[in-house]
Copies of this chain bind each other. A is one copy, B any other.
């Protein structure tokens, strides 16, 4: 290995440019550019020669130069506010995989609603970086002002799990209502008749869908809805504790509790343990999201898996397709909403009621 004599010099290596490649391959830079961009009208032999020179010189095109000259920056912005680490991680993995495959890079930006105008923050970011498109994750995808600004700016964007599908031209989502319906039905089929429900944060779009799914399943199976079995939570562990305590303090106890997310379900589990209720013997508990905590509780938590990675990859695909299309011509992209399938993950926290 070469040891650098001093570690200070600003640049140790000089990178080859398109001119070097052109010289090496004995063609004009325009030809190299054509090969780089997979354009037609390049004789196979010439293409080979260029490709060879590229390899020989270890050449990579300069993104900044491409961005300046052309219309594409090969940059995708990923906007997020404050979702769970697990969610954000999944989104990044999925989006990154697709971006890399298409030669794009991911620019991550947090929106800080407290500090400043989110819309202005985003617009500034776009103006500076000239990203080719942006991916919006909740709760940014819920922000009407942001959507409107993006639309007006003409910036392609895709929303992950937006509250209203009709609001956005491009989105990926999951059927939260159906998923909650399925979980409730599963509990009913086990034999549960009194099923408690801990609602999610009232501001969060998906939360009410999950609640509706619970109610519809109850209704479809002829089970009377009981107001005392439902409590308003806020997606946090602590709110799960509070709600579970409230639900379990009545006289007629439920045999199962379904929480609108895993953190609240974990809270409910803690309460059950505290009250000496065995899970799932005395009480079955189900969550939603399949976050890491679902496999770290005791017993393991039955929950619903959102295919986050796949959804994010799908979002990136939609966005990248739009970007390319737009570049080839002003084809007015049709609104596209891609739905992803949920999955019930069965663990040990649910079972047939004891009685």
Contacts and interface: CB of A to CB of B under 8 A. Distances in A.
Interface of A: 1-4, 6-13, 15, 58, 60-65, 67-68, 71, 73, 78, 84-86, 88-90, 92-93, 96-97, 100, 105-110, 124-125, 127-130, 148, 151-154, 169, 237, 263, 266-267, 269-270, 273-274, 292-293, 295-299, 326-327, 330-333
A82 to B, nearest CB: 9
Contact of A331 (B8, B85, B130): B8
Copies in the complex: 2
A339 to B, nearest CB: 22
Nearest to A77: B105
Contacts of A273: 273, 298
A330 B7 CA distance: 10
A169 B107 contact: no
Nearest to A326: B10
A127 B109 CA distance: 22
Given A1-B148, A151-B7, A237-B295, A108 B89 contact: no
Contacts of A151: 4, 7
- The 5 tightest CB contacts between A and B, nearest first, are A12-B154, A85-B89, A64-B67, A8-B332, A270-B298
Contact of A128 (B61, B85, B129, B148): B61
A73 B108 CA distance: 16
Contact of A327 (B10, B88, B96): B10
A73 B151 CA distance: 28
Contacts of A298: 269-270, 273-274
A54 to B, nearest CB: 12
